Chain A
Amino acid sequence: MGCAVRPLSPGSHVLNRTTMPIRETFWNIPRWAEYANYLLGLLSFLILIYGLWRRTRVWLRGRPAMRSDRVAQRIGGMISDGFVQLRTLSQPLPGLMHKGIFLGIVFLFVGTVLATLDWDITRLLFDVRFLQGVIYVTYKLVLDIAGLLLLLGVAVAAYRRYVARPKRLVNALSSTYTRDDAYALAVLATIAVTGFMIEGLRLAVVQPWWAVWSPIGNLVAHAFVSLGEQTNRTLHLSIWMFHMLIVFGAIAAIPYTKFVHIFTSPVNIFFRNLNPPGALEPIRNIEEAETFGAGKIEDWTWKRLLDFDACTRCGRCQDACPAYATNKPLSPQNIIVKLGGYLWQTPLATGKKDAALRSMHGEVITADELWDCTTCAACVQACPVYIDQMGAIIEMRRYLTMSEGDVSRNLNMAMTGMEQNGNPYGLSRNQRADWAQGLGVKTMAEAGGNVDILYWVGCAAAYDDRNKRVARAFVKILQAANVNFAILGTEETCTGDSARRAGNEYLFQMLAQENIATLNGYGVKRIVTACPHCFHTIRDEYPQFGGNYEVLHHSQLIAELLAQGRLSLSKPLDSGSVTYHDPCYLGRHNNVYQPSRQIIRRATGRAAIEMARNHAHSFCCGAGGARNWMEENRGTRINQNRAAEAIATGAATLAVACPFCMGMLTDGLKAKAAEGQRQMEIKDIAELVAERL
C-alpha cells in the first residue's frame, strides 16, 4: 500500500538509501507545462483518430469484399506476423532491426501509459502508486533497455538505408517517399536521444540512489553533472518540452507518415487472403457485369485499397520478383506504391473531380508492367504485411482483356485457340488423344467411368512433342504399378489456366464449366495431373464453380507408389547428380515440395542438389501468368537466368515437374550452351522413374 509522497521540492536532491524508489512524475515541470502536456496529448490523439478515420473512410468507399471468415485464423496471423513478425524476421538483420524499434517503441509507450495510470488514475482515485520500489526499478531498467533497443534499431536502419544501401531500399519512386523514410528515422532517433537526455538531466540533479537501475540514463547523467543544477534544470525543461512536442506531433502525424503502418499492418494482416494466393476471385454473374476488373480507382474493393495503403515500402517483393530481377519495368512494390499515391489524388479521396487527374491505366500503371508478371507469387509470399500484389495485377489485366480487348497478337491467338479449339496451341480437338496411340490407355468413355483415378493430361502433354514423352513416361509408371486409370481423351478441354491469368475470366469460366460438367458427368472423384497449372486450377479454382475433386500432382502419386512398393526400379544408372527446379504453381502456390525430391532420391540413389533459390524461394521459369504465349522482349530472359543457376550447381541433369518449366528451361539451357556453358540434360521426374522401370 503506497502513501502519497510529495514530489521532491526543488533543492532537495540528496536522497538516502532509505527512500523508497518512486517515479518523480513531472519533476521540474511547472503546472502550466503539465496542463499543456495533457492538452496536447489529448489533441494529438484526437488528430490521430481523425486521420485514421479519414483513411478508413476512403477504403470503405471501395467495393465490398468478404473478409470476416475464419476469424481465429486471422487473429492468429495477426499475432504471428503483426506482433511476432515472423516474415520480417525471415531476413535476420532487417528483422532484428525492426524488432528493436518495435519493442523499443511498444515498451516505451506502455511505460508511458503505466506512468499515466500511476500518476493520474490510481493516485488520484485510490491514492495508490504502484510505480515504486522493486516494481519501479524494474520498470526503469526495462525502459532503459527499450530505449537502447530503439536507438540500436534506428542505428542499424540508418546504416542500411544510407550506408549499405541494399537495392530494395534504394527505389526512389518519388522524393516524398525518401523524405518520409528519413523523417521516420529522424523522429525515432530524436525521441530516443531526447528521452535519454531528459532522464540523464534529471538524474544528474536528483541523483537518486537507484539511478544505477537506469544504466543509460545514468551514463548520460555523468555527462551533464558538471554543468550544475541550474543549467541542468533549464536544459531539462527545454528538452522535455521539445520531446513532448515531437512525440505528440509524431503521434498526430502518424496517419500522414510511414508510421501509419502501426495500424495498417496488423489490420491488413487480419484481413488477408486466407486462400491459396493463385486462387483468383471469380467474377460472379459475368454476363450481367457492366465492367470487368479494375479499370479505374472506383473498381477496387476496400481490401485492395487497404492493400495499397498498407505498403511500408520495404521492397522485399521487388527483390523476389523475377521480372524485376531481369530488368523489366514491373516492380510489384511500385505497382502498390503508385496505386496508393494515386488513390489520394482521386475523387474517392478528395471528393472532387479533377480534370487533370491521370488515368490509372496507361499513365499510373503501364500495360507493359502488367503483362510482365508471371504470377509466380514470390511477391505475395515475401510481403511482411500480406499485400496481394499479384491479385491487383490480374484485376488490372481483367480490365485490359475483357473491357478493352487490349491484348497482344500472340495472346490473342492463344485465347482464340482456347476458345475455338480447346487448347492455346490452336490445334485440332480431334488430335488431343493422339499421343496415347498404341499405349493401351483407356478413355473414360471406354471405361464407363469405372476407374480409381483420372489422369488429366493437359494441353501441353497432348500437343507438345517434348511433353508427350513425359505423358508416355507417366503412363508407363501407372501401368507398371497397375493403377486403374483412364484419360478423358478428346472430351478433355483446356482447364483455362492461361485464360484466367491473362484476365479473360469469361473464357475461363466457359472452359471451366465445360470441364466440370464432363467430370461430374463421370462422377470423377480423384484426379492426377503432371501439370502444376492444371493441378492448381482444378484443385484450387474449380471448386468455385462446383467442381470438387481430390487432385494430385504426378509427383505426389509417384512418390506414393514408390513408398507403397508398387514400383520396382532396377539399379539406378550412374547418370550423375540431379538438381530440381520447384515449379511455382506446385511449390509456392500449393506447398508441395517433398515428393519430387523423394522421387529423385529413389530414382537416382542420391539426394537432389539444391539450387541457391529453392523450395519456396524457387525462381520462376518465366512461363506462368500466360507468359508462355507472349513474347519476352523487355529486359533479359527469365529462363536463362534460371538455367544459369541450374548449371552452377554442377549437376548433370535438371529435373522439372511442369511442362512449362520443361519448355522454358530447355530453351534456357540451350541458350547457355550456345554461349559456351556446360550442357545439361533436362528431364521430368516421371522420366527419371520410367527410365528405371
Chain B
Amino acid sequence: MNIIVCVKQVPDTTAEKRLAADNRLDRASMENILNPFDEYAVEEAIRIKEAQGANITLVCMGPAAAESALRKGLAMGADNAVLVSDPLLAGSDTLATAYVLACAIKRLPFDLILTGMQSTDARTGQVPAAIAEFLELPMLTFAAKLDVDMGKRTARIQRQAEGGLVVLEGNLPALVSVTKAINEPRYPALRGIMMAKKKEIKVWNATELGLDTSLVGSSGAHTKVLAVRKPAPRAKGVVIKEDPDTAARKVADYLASVKAI
C-alpha cells in the first residue's frame, strides 16, 4: 500500500507572532514545528504500516526550512519525503496550496492520502477537501478512527457527530483527514531521529511540477488581506466580590454579552 501524508510546517503557537511588511507571515522570526495535527496523520500512517505494511511518503509545500518538519515525520517512521519549494509559491492561499500539493501527489503512487484536519496557524481546514477535489477523490474528513481494507479497496472512518458517532465509507484511493482523537503520536526514538537525518528529501520546484504559475503565489490568490491588527490584549479582567445573587446576575449578564446565552 502506498500512503501519502501531507504535512505543513507552522510557527509554534506559544511564541510571539510577527508579520512582515507585506502582511505575510515572518516565518523566520519564530520557532517552526511540524503542524501538530499532521503528527496525528503521520502516526496513523505508521500504524497502518505496522499493521498491514505500507510505504509512506511525506509531501510538504514550504520554504527550505520546512525540511525540519519533514525530518520529524521521517524520524517517527515515514519512508520518504518530498518538499515542494519555490519562491513563486510564497503567499499562496489555501486553494493554491491544495493545487500545488495535488500536482505533486499526482507524480507519486498512492492508495491513501492522510492529512491533519487543519493547521495550527491558519486553522482553515480547507486544504484537505480542496486536494480531494483537485484529485477527484472521495474525502473522509475529521476521522476519529480509520480502517483501511485493501481487499475491498475501501476506507472507513468514524467521526464525531451530534449525539454520537457517524461511520462513513469511501472507495480507495481516498483522502482522509484526521482529528486528535484518532491516536497518540509517538515520541520519535533517537535512533529514528538519527536515521531521518540521513534520508534524502526530494525537492521539487514549480517548473519541475509543471505548475500554472498564475494559479499560485500572491498573484494566484483568491483572497486579499486588507489589514492586520492585533486583537486588544486580554484586558485586565474585572474581579468582583458580591453577594451570591448579585454575583450570579453579573455572570449571567456577562454570558449574555459574549453571546453564550
Contacts and interface: CB of A to CB of B under 8 A. Distances in A.
Question: Does A associate with B in a complex?
Answer: yes
B14 A427 contact: yes
Contact of B12 (A404, A409, A412, A420): A420
B51 to A, nearest CB: 18
B24 interface: no
User: Contact size class for A?
Assistant: 20 to 34
A287 B14 contact: no
A420 B33 contact: yes
Contact of B16 (A286, A406, A428): A428
A416 B14 CA distance: 12
A427 B12 CA distance: 10
B220 interface: no
Interface in A402-431: 402-407, 409, 411-412, 415-416, 420-421, 426-430
Interface residues of B, number: 17
B15 A407 contact: no
A412 B186 CA distance: 8
Contacts of B184: 409, 412
B14 A403 contact: no
Interface stretch (B89-97, B116-124, B188-196, B240-248): B188-196
Contacts of A292: 190-191
A402 B191 contact: yes
B190 A506 contact: yes
B190 A402 contact: yes
Nearest to A430: B16
B33 A405 contact: no
A401 interface: yes
B31 interface: yes
B189 A421 contact: no
Given A428-B15, A428-B16, A430-B15, A421 B31 contact: yes
Given A421-B31, A426-B14, A405 B192 contact: yes
Contacts of A428: 14-16
A405 B189 CA distance: 4
B188 A405 contact: yes
Contacts of B186: 405-406, 412
A286 B31 CA distance: 25
A403 B16 contact: no
Given A421-B14, A421-B31, A430-B15, A412 B189 contact: no
Contacts of A429: 15, 31
Contact of A403 (B15, B31, B33, B191): B191
Contacts of B16: 428, 430
Nearest to B193: A506
Interface in A597-623: none
Contacts of B194: 287
Contacts of A404: 189
A401 B14 contact: no
A371 to B, nearest CB: 14
Nearest to A405: B189
B83 to A, nearest CB: 21
Nearest to A399: B189
A416 B186 CA distance: 11
Given A287-B194, A420-B33, A405 B187 contact: yes
Contacts of B185: 412
B135 to A, nearest CB: 32
A506 B191 CA distance: 11
Contacts of A415: 187
A112 to B, nearest CB: 57
A403 B190 contact: yes
A286 B194 CA distance: 10
A415 B188 CA distance: 11
Interface string B151-185: 00000000000000000000000000000000011
Contacts of B12: 420-421
A529 to B, nearest CB: 24
Contacts of B191: 292, 402-403
A406 B192 CA distance: 12
A139 B194 CA distance: 69
A508 B184 CA distance: 24
A405 B16 CA distance: 30
A662 B160 CA distance: 40
Q: Closest 10 A-B residue pairs measured CB to CB?
A: A405-B189, A402-B190, A405-B187, A428-B14, A412-B187, A407-B187, A405-B186, A506-B190, A428-B15, A409-B184
Given A401-B189, A403-B189, A420-B12, 6 more contacts: A286-B190, A402-B190, A403-B191, A405-B188, A405-B189, A416-B187
23 contacts: A286-B190, A292-B191, A401-B187, A402-B190, A403-B189, A403-B190, A403-B191, A405-B186, A407-B187, A411-B187, A412-B184, A412-B185, A412-B187, A415-B187, A420-B31, A420-B33, A421-B12, A421-B14, A427-B14, A428-B14, A428-B16, A430-B15, A506-B193
Interface of A: 286-287, 292, 401-407, 409, 411-412, 415-416, 420-421, 426-430, 506
